Amino acid sequence: MSRPITIFTGQWADLTLDTVAQKAKSFGYDGLELACWGDHFEVDKALESDSYVQGRWDILNKHGLKCFAISTHLVGQCVADAIIDERHRSILPDRLWGDGDPEGVRQRCAEEIKNTARAAKKFGVEVVNGFTGSPVWHLLYFFPPTTDAMIDRGFEEFAARWKPILDVFEQEGVKFALECHPAEIAYDILTAERALKALDGHKAFGFNYDPSHFVHQLFDPVEFINAFPDRIFHVHVKDSKVTLSGRNSILGSHLQFGDYRRGWNFVSPGHGDIDLEGIIRALNRIGYDGPLSVEWEDSGMDREHGAKDAVEFIRKTEFKPSEVAFDAAFGEG
């Protein structure tokens, strides 16, 4: 099993797709996971123009790269968030923000995600990665007193907003892969189970597995694979380093990413607490043969150095499963 190694373009959206593709090929990548922002993959243009879609492939083909997924994290965040404010304004184009009325923003973003499924099919990929937003994230700490009924209503709202979207995904033969993440409806194993249940196990819904979000929550990333072997639709390779000092916490202390005082930070693959070999063994066990997509998020490392280092680290670490038991030959003869 030799999985393609791709790189997510979301953190490179300040560069043109042609420039990112040239760099990725020179770094040693097999393909790109295209972000639906910057000029990398624009959903409205993809639906309007066959030549736009062909143009994206022309760039990829010119550099000998493949694409297995597109990603719509920013728009997806705005579908179900309980609070829509200036943070969301900063991540949306004017056509989706509109007048900023929160429910209007949610509805426009929901339609955009449906259109992303249609654009993905037109582009020829079967997975869209992204976020969902959450009606209950602001209720995380359970103070002021938070009832179970409040949380139940939040999951019901999530399902009501996302089921019609997922129905479109199913109709188009495309899967939506939630990147379980703080601030989403699902951020650990228990909330992922609850989200699936709220959706009645919708066939189009699964996960973009990113272990970096699990390490700093202090649970084993391999256990997520064990819990959802048939719902791992895509895999990010990203790392996280916990640096609890006795003065900070895993909550981040309202400090920006990269601040050395935080209790944890994202780092390039191989430089944190992720056991990539253990993850590879688990992915082999469930038969995952899709891409391993590097998401570069390391405020302390030059991104080009990090991108090169990451693909080299993954190629050294990844391996295919054994086709024989190690002791199979003991009894021969």
Q: How many percent of the chain have pLDDT more than 90?
A: 95
Instruction: Report which of 29, 57, 25, 63 is spatially closest to residue 41, judged by C-alpha positions.
Output: 57
pLDDT in tens, 73-132: 999 999 999 999 999 999 999 999 999 999 999 999 999 999 999 999 999 999 999 999
Mean pLDDT of the chain: 96
pLDDT in tens, 102-117: 999 999 999 999 999 9
Identify the pLDDT of residue 327.
63
Q: How many percent of the chain have pLDDT more than 70?
A: 98
Task: Kindly list the domain boundaries of the chain, sorted by start residue.
Answer: 5-317
| Backbone φ, ψ for residue 7 (5° rounding) | -130, 135
Q: Give yes or no for a contact between 212 and 272, defined as CB atoms under 8 angstroms apart.
A: yes
Q: How far apart are CA 278 and CA 36, in angstroms?
A: 31
pLDDT in tens, 202-211: 999 999 999 9
Q: Give yes or no for a contact between 9 and 35, defined as CB atoms under 8 angstroms apart.
A: yes
Q: Ramachandran region of residue 282, left (φ > 0), alpha (ψ -120 to 50) or beta?
A: alpha
Q: Which fold has domain 5-317?
A: TIM Barrel (3.20.20)
Residues paired with 299 in a beta bridge: none
Beta strands in 158-316 (DSSP E): 175-178, 205-209, 232-237, 239-242, 264-267, 292-294
pLDDT in tens, 196-249: 999 999 999 999 999 999 999 999 999 999 999 999 999 999 999 999 999 999
Does residue 324 register a pLDDT over 90? no
Q: How far apart are CA 257 and CA 266, in angstroms?
A: 8
